[in-house]
Amino acid sequence: MNELQIFNNKHFGQVRTALINDEPYFMLADVCRVLEIKNSRDVLNRLSQKGVAITDTLTNGGKQQATFINESNMYKLAFTSRKKEAEKFTDWVTGEILPTLRRTGTYSMQKANPLEALQQIGQSINKTIEALIEQDRRMKNIETVTRVQNDRIGDMEKKVQLVYDCGTINHDNWRTHVRPLINQIAKYIPVLDSTDRFSAAWQESYKRLEQKFNCNLTLRVNNKKERLRLAGATKKVIDKVNNLDVIGEDKRLIECYISILKRMVLEYKRAA
């Protein structure tokens, strides 16, 4: 059974310590209370098990078992705490508790010579530095994950906005929205010659429409030109007839074509 040494602070209350294997340990329940950690059992999964000890202690209720953590684990909890006073708590531990343990002899340094005392102080400082380095590494990892998540959220917001914009297209204004969508497709479509991106985007969109709708746009264009010729239209008017003109004559073709353009934009952006 280990003898307890109790430290009191007007801000943090009572913190119980024990000497285990000649090292200072802190009662986990007290540390969790100070750092406002509600479930001390869940905390154990985040700690190094080498620095966790369950030992018998004497309380007002008699002999009881309690969980203690070593100095390194205590720093790990403090440095990952969201409580603003966590830093002040570690200052109190390093500035009062540990020096008191060493000075009063509760710490095994009472048997050490000055050189050994300095060595143990150095070891304590090294543990603090190691804990700070580990905390810095974790914070950088968190920042990296947060940055990646923000980038993904931003990209998703753009995709959602694109789908919303496409959803506002109707049969009267659909042609004014086609070119912006083609521009988006051309920006990401994989082609060898970058100067041919727009041509590739147009051709691929028409190809997919013909396959999806089982139609022949070239034949429809030629038929429309023939009808115009028979109706007496000028050569200039006839020559201007294109695929969009025949698509606009069929409500179902318009809906199918816009749907294809939306999918192409999302598909190529996702693959880029």
Split the chain (272 residues) into runs of 10 and give each run's mean pLDDT: 81 88 88 86 85 78 82 86 83 86 57 53 68 76 76 60 51 85 89 77 93 92 92 93 92 92 90 73
Q: Is 155 a member of any domain?
A: no
Same domain, 122 and 193: no
Q: Are residues 127 and 189 in the same domain?
A: no
Say if residue 250 is in the same domain as residue 185: yes
- The helix/strand/coil state of 83 is coil
Domain boundary among 142, 157, 180: 142
Query: For position 87, what pLDDT does the model report?
Result: 85
SS3 content of the chain, % helix, strand, coil (to 5): 65, 15, 20
Collapsing DSSP to helix, strand or coil, 53 comes out as: strand
Contact 109, 102 (CB under 8 A): yes
Please tell me the predicted confidence (pLDDT) of residue 234. 93
Same domain, 9 and 133: yes
State the total domains in the chain: 2
Name every residue whose Cβ is closer than 8 Å to that of residue 78 and which is 6 or more positions away in sequence.
31, 35, 86, 87, 89, 90, 93
- Given 105, 125, 142, which residue is the final one in a domain? 142
Domain boundary among 125, 142, 159: 142
Other C-beta atoms lying within 10 Å of the C-beta of residue 213: 17
Write down the pLDDT at residue 107.
46
253 shares a domain with 177: yes
Which residues span the domain enclosing 196? 169-271
pLDDT score, position 109: 41
pLDDT of residue 264: 92
Q: Is residue 148 part of a domain?
A: no
User: Cα–Cα–Cα angle for 158, 160, 165, nearest 5°?
Assistant: 90
Q: Are residues 118 and 206 in the same domain?
A: no
Strands 23-27 and 62-70, sheet pairing: antiparallel
Q: Flag whether the pTM goes above 0.75.
A: no
> End-to-end distance of the chain based on CA atoms, in angstroms?
64
| 129 and 232 inside one domain | no
Element (H, E) at 69: strand 62-70
112 located within any domain: yes
| Buried/exposed code over 50-87 (b: 16+ C-beta within 10 A; e: otherwise) | ebbbeeebeeeeeeeebbbbbbbbbbbbbbbbeeebbe
